[in-house]
Amino acid sequence: MSRSVFWTQLSVFMAILVTILLTREYAALQLVKRGIGNYSAHMLLGIAANVILIVFSFYLIGKNNLETLAGLANKELEKGFLLIFPLVYLVLLNVFLMDDLPTDNLLVNLLLLAIYAISIGFAEELSIRGFLQSHFIRFFGTTRKRLRLSVFLSALLFGIIHFIKFDKGIYGELSQVCFALFIGVMFGFLLLITKRIYPLIILHAIVDFVAKLDSMGIPVTGETTQSVSAENAIAIVILVSPCLIYGIFLMKRYPILTPAQIAQS
């Protein structure tokens, strides 16, 4: 892949990704200004934005013949047991941090949240791991060092994107960037080792579902979220650091894509 093609596609991807996210935030703000703050409306808005990102990601992956790198080719899941730790740890972590669960309109809100979480799993995994990470690998190459570079770069961009909302104060935003970066590194190496993206999508959806249970049904007011203190931000980073450690362990312990496998993509 030439440098011009690489940078053009990367720029287009980032521009459209940011546009989708900013449009979602703007639309949410307009709903609140018009007195529409009910949970269902904002969840449907989020689902619609995720569906657009899913379609865009599928298009880019197919256009660039990245199905194998993206874990979409018809291959069996390899070393699926490696998914057990992130599933158990992240679910338990979110349960530990969870507030009391709202009970109003429980079944409807549970269904909406489940659909929203599934859409997040598809949107974020297909866009970041499916296209972006694969795009980096195709350009940088397949040596172990460059595969690691591709994983870290895509995870870092995934983390930086979380600055868009910026509603938790500087410490809160930095902790969110670290949270996304650490999980992104872990998920990136899991994709290269297991060679299937759908299990990661399911894992991502389950984690997001549990993480958002305590905000289920709560109306959106448009008020700025209370800033996160430096101490709480550090605590969040420490709590999620096992994900980074696990990702580094995966990188060192297990073989990842070989040049022959890359050539088949």
- Quick one: pLDDT at residue 227? 74
The total domain count for the chain is 1
| CA 5 to each of CA 2, 12, 64, 169, 178: distance values in angstroms, whole numbers, following the listed order | 5, 11, 11, 37, 30
pLDDT tens by residue, 162-220: 777 756 778 888 888 999 999 999 999 999 999 999 999 999 999 999 999 989 988 88
Query: CB-based contacts of 57: which residues, under 8 Å, 6+ apart?
Result: 123, 126, 127, 130, 131
pLDDT tens by residue, 61-100: 999 999 999 999 877 899 999 999 999 999 999 999 888 8
Q: Report d(CA 76, CA 213) in Å as an integer.
A: 32
Q: Report d(CA 227, CA 112) in Å as an integer.
A: 28
Tokens of 59: 């298009």
pLDDT tens by residue, 216-253: 988 888 665 567 888 888 999 999 999 999 999 999 99
166 conformational bin, left if phi > 0, alpha if psi -120 to 50, beta if neither = left
Boundaries of domain holding 247: 3-263
